[in-house]
Amino acid sequence: MPPYAPAAEAPPLPAADTAPAPSRRWIWLAAWPVVAVLALSNEPAPLYVLWQRQLGFSSATLTLVYAFYIAGLLGTLTVAGTLSDRYGRKPVLLPGLGLGVAAGVLFMTAHSVPALSLARLLSGVAVGAFLSAGLAAVSDVADRADKRLAGLVASSSMVGGAAVGPLLTGVLSETLPGPSVTVFAVQIALLLAALPVVLRMPLPQRARAGGAAGGGRWIRIPNAPRANRRQLLLGLAVFAPGIAATGFVLSLGPSLLAELLHTSSRILSGATIFVLFAAATGVQFAARRLRTRTDLLTGAALTVLSMALLVLAVAATSVAALLASAVLAGLGQGLSQLGGLTMLAADVPAGRLAEANAAFTAGGYLLAGVLPVAAGTLSDATTLTTGTTVFGVTVTALVAAGALAVIRGTRDS
């Protein structure tokens, strides 16, 4: 993602902490709404095969539905981080919860591709709000000494929610009547349970700017402060290809699994995605004492291994290789995400942290939207095997280049 230089960058707005320092438990409590909303991000994935059969759409259409999610997320990240840093986290988080509920209702009643696309769009908006303001809120409630813990909890809450959603979908949709209705009724309940936590977060109040003219543009490409842009770009160089790899599993993974196993089991596809993101969550706790440079380089190596196994899986029609590829993709994303978010949480001023998180997330999800859609289009024009192979080779080249940039651009810190 290229650096962005506004014509006149406004200084960070002061933050006045009007409450006593919150206890460490608020780091964990503040992460709960992030988990609840991020569950919505991946919950539709196991149902794609069902919707595809009912509505009769192609692999390219399936990835385009996923692209609506990416569009909503990226569009939100252009404004959510700036608004959150300027006016506070809650004015962004509360509408995000409301749009998440609206997306759940649409998923419950969707009987057409446009309805699914709109639901995906709204879920992307909700997730974008929490990937900027929600992750920053976790850091806000932490003391300076707990910033690394806050970075770990914020990053793991993101992938933890992403892990829980598809497993919940797979189990509920196979064991209870009304697959989509049951799943999203439970999801709406989770979002409503997160509401009191958001309302009670002991967050600092920010000085209000006098409108857009008083503090710069509201809608702009999110970025980190100039002093931190090198860190942002180095993190993205590894994280973006890593999350593109997991995006492939989310969009085309169930179709590939069905082709290899000749089954459309939603429990199996949901469990595959759960294992991917559970690996991404677990590895962050296991690596919590590693240096950020080590996180990024190890994440890059694991992503390369994941893509090698993905190509092997389709060439040899090996389910074991496909599952191993999914796990390694999760490990790679988890480590690269932890490294990037930890660098930002440790060094970016609080008044720009939500925007920096938004820039990091936007850069990753932009690639995660483009590459799977391209792979789906190529798969329709040729075969799923060809599309998957080209995707794997492309991600390998990108993440190798990112690792080289990290080696050249960082010290062992």
DSSP letter at 10 equals: P
CB-based contact 46:266 (threshold 8 Å): yes
Residue that is written with structure tokens 């446009």 in the block: 114
Calculate mean pLDDT across residues 230-236: 91
pLDDT at 9: 34
Tell me, what's the pLDDT at 35?
93
pLDDT at 61: 81
Three-state SS at 263: coil
Q: How confident is the model at residue 237 (pLDDT cuts 50, 70, 90)?
A: very high
Cβ–Cβ under 8 Å, residues 28 and 285:
no
Among 66-75, 89-98, 322-331, 403-412, top mean pLDDT goes to 89-98
Q: How confident is the model at residue 144 (pLDDT cuts 50, 70, 90)?
A: low
Angle at 105 between CA 99 and CA 108, to 5 degrees: 145
Share of the chain above pLDDT 70, in %: 85
What pLDDT does residue 390 have?
93
Q: Domain residue spans in the chain? A: 21-205+228-409
d(CA 219, CA 82): 8
What b/e readout covers 331-358, taking b as 16+ CB neighbours within 10 angstroms?
Answer: bbbbbbbbbbbbbbbbebbbbbbbbbbb
CA–CA separation, 367 and 365 (whole Å)? 5
Q: Mean pLDDT throughout 300-329?
A: 90
pLDDT confidence bin for 303, thresholds 50/70/90: very high
Look at domain 21-205+228-409 and name its CATH class. mainly alpha
Whether this model's pTM surpasses 0.75: no
Q: CB-side exposure of 90: number of CA atoms within 13 Å? A: 14
Q: CA geometry: angle at 60 spanning 166 and 180, to 5°?
A: 30
Q: Between these two residues, 65 and 23, which has the higher pLDDT value?
A: 65
* 79-95: burial string, b at 16+ Cβ within 10 Å, e else: bbbbbbbbbbbbebbee
Higher pLDDT residue, 345 or 118?
A: 118
Residues in the chain: 413
| Residues 6+ away with beta carbon under 8 Å from 69 | 41, 120, 121, 123, 124, 127
The burial class, CB within 10 Å (0-12 / 13-18 / 19+), for 221 is middle
Q: Give the end-to-end CA distance of the chain in Å, rounded to a whole number.
A: 23
What is the rounded radius of gyration, in angstroms, for the C-alpha atoms of the chain? 20
Of 102-106, 155-159, 303-307, 362-366, the range with the lowest mean pLDDT is 155-159
pLDDT at 36: 94
Confidence of residue 77 (pLDDT cuts 50, 70, 90): confident
Residue 104 host element (H or E): helix 90-109
Whether the pLDDT of residue 20 is over 50: the answer is no
Distance CA 292, CA 239 (A): 12
- Look at residue 162 in the predicted model and tell me its pLDDT: 81
Provide the angle, in degrees to the nearest 10, between the axes of the packed helices 384-409 and 350-381. Answer: 150
* Res 12: pLDDT: 40
